[in-house]
Structure 1
């Protein structure tokens, strides 16, 4: 009997993992739906990070309610930065195609475009979590995102490796990956990244020291 009670205990590791996966699926569907009107994607990403942050901090999470609360609250502030990032992505895509067509200088030009793309992704990877959690003007968020991307470069690099790795996997096996893309294609890699940037923000907020030890709050 004790073993059976442990099996169906809500704190059981199996149930904990299944709970996280279920939340990621709901969050992924909400994020994709709210990205369909392209102009709302910035607010959707901000709302997604708001929920992911709560998940990795083991805070009480109500995915749909907290997602739409953040979406509504940050829609206006996220709009212009998102359109700017979207424009940068379009420009880089065009530059990438032009660079690829220039056979003589293809290697260096493609490398430059790829580097610029990674810089944009790195800044965006910090900007949306900052916007979801802190109340500051947009220029301050963008400046802080750039500082964090450079100041915590090893962790930034880890997040870029995760994102690029998932992107390559999706492109390489796209047909087979469609179910995963629809269920957790966005939230799974971002959930992995949330564990990385959560440490950074806990350091900034004075919750932990450089060794990762919790600092007692007075």
Structure 2
């Protein structure tokens, strides 16, 4: 039996190894916590590039893009953290507020939480895909989820499905550590590219250079 590296099985194993390496490097770069923003932007940027050129060196591209996206990603990540913290604080305050009048603020907090979640879904992919100033990135992240509502629902569906699997199937948590985050982000990158193309008007697409996997 002749060994064929181009056989579908070995091609799949090669892709699995590359995504596992990307996933582990992504997790390592999120360890300081404050770098989650740059890490997400770099991950999406790498996967967008992979969709265009599937032979790129994923880890090398990721590290290059992590450095490129660091400043905006760090600022956006910290701002999102502050918004989320404000909502959590508001919910804690509401929980201690024993009054019928508390339901009004609760509705506002729920709406705010939904808005922040949707902004978070798009903020780092928009940063990764389009060359816009930071302020414009936030404006687009706030507006685009509603313009591309079917895409937004699909993204939330992917997140919900992945979280449900991890919650109900403990073994999936191990797979998530190995390669799950990268695969989920890849699935979402396909939806995002579809949404960007269909609903458009987001700015000039960044034109990075690629490091070919076979060089």
TM beyond 0.5: yes
Stretches of structure 2 lacking an aligned partner (at least 5 in a row): 202-215
Greater relative CO, 1 or 2 (CA 8 Å, sep 6+): 2
Per the alignment, residue 169 of structure 1 pairs with 165
Q: CA deviation at 1:91?
A: 2.6
Contact 1:47 1:67 in 2 (8 A): yes
Of 30, 34, 37, the residue aligned with 1:35 is: 30
Indicate yes or no: 2:179 matched with 1:184: yes
Of 121, 124, 146, the residue aligned with 1:125 is: 121
CA distance 1:96–1:56, change in 2 (3 Å) = farther
Q: CA deviation at 1:141?
A: 0.9
Q: CA deviation at 1:70?
A: 0.8
Contact 1:170 1:177 in 2 (8 A): yes
Specify the SS of the correspondent of 2:34: helix
Q: CA deviation at 1:177?
A: 3.2
CA distance in 1, matches of 2:151, 2:62: 26
Contact 1:43 1:78 in 2 (8 A): yes
CA distance 1:80–1:176, change in 2 (3 Å) = same
Stretches of structure 1 lacking an aligned partner (at least 5 in a row): 206-218
Q: TM-score, normalised by structure 2?
A: 0.78
Per the alignment, residue 211 of structure 1 pairs with none
CA distance 1:199–1:102, change in 2 (3 Å) = same
Contact 1:54 1:60 in 2 (8 A): no
In the alignment of these two chains, the number of paired residues is 199
Q: CA RMSD in A?
A: 2.8
